[in-house]
Structure 1
């Protein structure tokens, strides 16, 4: 007897929205080459896209930022009124205007973004860039979680192996790693921290140049803390958030005058620059067990090895839970390796950071509540 028929694997349906005929064709051709992806329709602007989303019910939408009639940001705002969970990937130019609009779209509810090919004159290069950026995101957003560990109940401490015999020092620096879904997760965490935070916060978010500038500027407008794109050589001060510039690694460096930012153009790690592993390793050298690492939503495993170095010294680790992560890759890798002290929903991370800070920060609890 022949074996019983198996259920056909789910094919991800995509709606491609862009005012450029060339880009629509390019994206459609790239996606159609993947047997697990099917382009179910295209649209030249947001108004037509909203009608097609209601009709076609795609699994994911790729959405241009700059379009006539209804642009990308406006489209996301309208879409989220009726489709709060539909994955939306913004398609942005590498310009200041494009980066600013993309960050605004992420704040409005877009899920992730990719950048348009820098050299549209080279078809092969453009195809490669779109394929390498877009397809992994589509599969990550519409597929199964990268790490299928059993989700832990919110705010439940994790019993990790004892790795350091020495006492844990009071926290001197908070380190945050994030990627896919990170901009909005960072905004949620950072805007709930008080201006009186007695330590610096160092952030490695996977983003290209210009985009990190706009991200820091937008969060700074909302947060009580000072939020900046880091500059090489500046001192690491309490109450300030330093976001690694796109395209550059950021490290903490020990100097006679105190800890400072060090930026460099070293090789990519985990296909990333800035890389979370680079930041976390440097903080292990500078702050050791006085570090508090926080792993937020993101694809892949960047930050896992750096977290291992921190845990070996006795540092604390918080990880975002699966239920509130856009992609539970980076935090899932940390949790699956038994490195996290606690796995928390996004909304509880800020108050847990404050709770672990020195006693001088205890009086800031009321301010944390104020920024929720």
Structure 2
């Protein structure tokens, strides 16, 4: 058994303690690589480096991690079997599943999400692939940081001692009263577009698969009326599985989009992993256009190309939805949709796994509504039936 532990330290200042990360992988190369990356960050620390899921379960109380990066295929106890045991011992543990890009592992990753994993990350087939290690590095650190930050926001704060109603605090250098930090201004809301929308565009990232399953289960009437195009930040193979899950959840046809195919009502089109999905005019109809260009907003597929391209086809008849996810992808395309007369809805912070993408849109003032996940489908049904409020 290979074990490395870092004991929890006692806070000595008001600065937040680094996130404690437990790395669980039977590959000494991967463990070492991930541990070095984490060790180079100032806001996180390797709490333990372990070889098997059984080691992780047995060491959990001692290690007390905030986040666990959990491999799927390991001896003694694999990641999927270790997952419920870890969450049974520490309910708020953030678990990120790591796996290679095989269909079997993609299926297992989706299963892990349903069992309580916070997210997944694909491991490159080889860390020597050009650019593969860099993408893995960037995505993993961002997921640890953002998912760990959400964990800390959701933890109840320690009660502060009561403050005496004394005179205003003074700045010792200037002997002037210290002003309280002003509250952030309320989010600007726009009116919905005047046209009944003719297409639904959805962008999502971290936490997106779970949100999409919930959403499409109640969107049957909308899907029957208009085409639904989805860009989820996800690699190849994973998007194949996601499309199958969306078809089952919605009871409607759903598949990875094919270059050149016509876009019709009654179908869900999912951007395939590793390719941007755009829409182009094809006579009087719309058609899918896939391209293998460079990543946009560090993503491929990216949401912005889909949003912007749709304007040439549907002008102001677009309703776009930005769900949970890291970064700001979709915000720039959403601005152009609004300028063309369309509308943007964002998922709210409370129900988002990460309020990066929807938060960027909301804070940019382009949203007609910012809603919890369970209110989005009913709102969409009303909007596509002609309600403009």
TM-score range, shorter chain: 0.7 to 0.9
1:91 deviates by: 0.9
Once residues 345 and 233 of structure 2 are traced to their aligned partners in structure 1, the CA distance between those partners, rounded to angstroms, is 19
Residue 16 (str. 1) matches residue 43 (str. 2)? no
Given the alignment, which residue of 364, 383, 386 partners 1:337?
A: 364
Once residues 332 and 128 of structure 1 are traced to their aligned partners in structure 2, the CA distance between those partners, rounded to angstroms, is 26
Root-mean-square deviation (CA), in Å? 2.6
Relative to structure 2, which stretch is displaced further, 62-71 or 343-352?
Answer: 62-71
Relative to structure 2, which stretch is displaced further, 22-31 or 201-210?
Answer: 22-31
Alpha-carbon spacing, 1:339–1:212, altered in 2? closer, same or farther (3 Å): same
Please give the TM-score of this superposition, normalised by the length of structure 2.
0.81
Please give the TM-score of this superposition, normalised by the length of structure 1.
0.85
Which residue of structure 2 aligns with residue 138 of structure 1? 144
Which residue of structure 2 aligns with residue 357 of structure 1? 384
Corresponding pairs, count: 344
Which residue of structure 1 aligns with residue 213 of structure 2? 187
Q: What is the SS of the residue equivalent to 2:36? A: helix
1:30–1:127 CA contact under 8 A, matched in 2: no
Which residue of structure 2 aligns with residue 210 of structure 1? 237
1:249 deviates by: 0.7
Runs of 5+ in structure 2 lacking a partner?
1-11, 152-182
State how 1:1-372 maps to structure 2 within 5 Å.
6-81=13-88, 83-121=90-128, 128-143=134-149, 160-161=189-190, 168-194=194-220, 197-358=224-385
Q: What is the SS of the residue equivalent to 1:289? A: coil
Q: What is the SS of the residue equivalent to 2:355? A: coil
1:306 deviates by: 0.3
Alpha-carbon spacing, 1:175–1:91, altered in 2? closer, same or farther (3 Å): same
1:82 deviates by: 5.1
CA deviations on 1:217-256 (whole Å, 9 max, x unpaired) are 1222232222211111222122211110011111122212
Once residues 308 and 346 of structure 1 are traced to their aligned partners in structure 2, the CA distance between those partners, rounded to angstroms, is 22
Which residue of structure 1 aligns with residue 6 of structure 2? none
CA deviations on 1:283-329 (whole Å, 9 max, x unpaired) are 12211221111000111111111000011122121111111111111
1:191–1:223 CA contact under 8 A, matched in 2: yes
Runs of 5+ in structure 1 lacking a partner?
153-157, 362-372
1:180–1:298 CA contact under 8 A, matched in 2: yes
Once residues 194 and 299 of structure 1 are traced to their aligned partners in structure 2, the CA distance between those partners, rounded to angstroms, is 28
Alpha-carbon spacing, 1:186–1:144, altered in 2? closer, same or farther (3 Å): closer
1:42 deviates by: 2.7
1:190–1:225 CA contact under 8 A, matched in 2: no
Alpha-carbon spacing, 1:79–1:223, altered in 2? closer, same or farther (3 Å): farther
Once residues 224 and 301 of structure 1 are traced to their aligned partners in structure 2, the CA distance between those partners, rounded to angstroms, is 31
2:218–2:250 CA contact under 8 A, matched in 1: yes
Alpha-carbon spacing, 1:266–1:120, altered in 2? closer, same or farther (3 Å): closer
Alpha-carbon spacing, 1:56–1:6, altered in 2? closer, same or farther (3 Å): closer
Q: What is the SS of the residue equivalent to 2:300? A: coil
2:190–2:368 CA contact under 8 A, matched in 1: no
Q: What is the SS of the residue equivalent to 1:38? A: strand
2:150–2:353 CA contact under 8 A, matched in 1: no
Once residues 38 and 285 of structure 1 are traced to their aligned partners in structure 2, the CA distance between those partners, rounded to angstroms, is 48
1:252–1:260 CA contact under 8 A, matched in 2: yes
1:144 deviates by: 6.6
Once residues 246 and 77 of structure 2 are traced to their aligned partners in structure 1, the CA distance between those partners, rounded to angstroms, is 25
Q: What is the SS of the residue equivalent to 2:225? A: coil
Q: What is the SS of the residue equivalent to 1:97? A: helix
Point out the structure with max Rg over C-alpha.
2
Q: What is the SS of the residue equivalent to 1:42? A: strand
1:126 deviates by: 6.8
Alpha-carbon spacing, 1:150–1:8, altered in 2? closer, same or farther (3 Å): closer
1:180 deviates by: 1.1
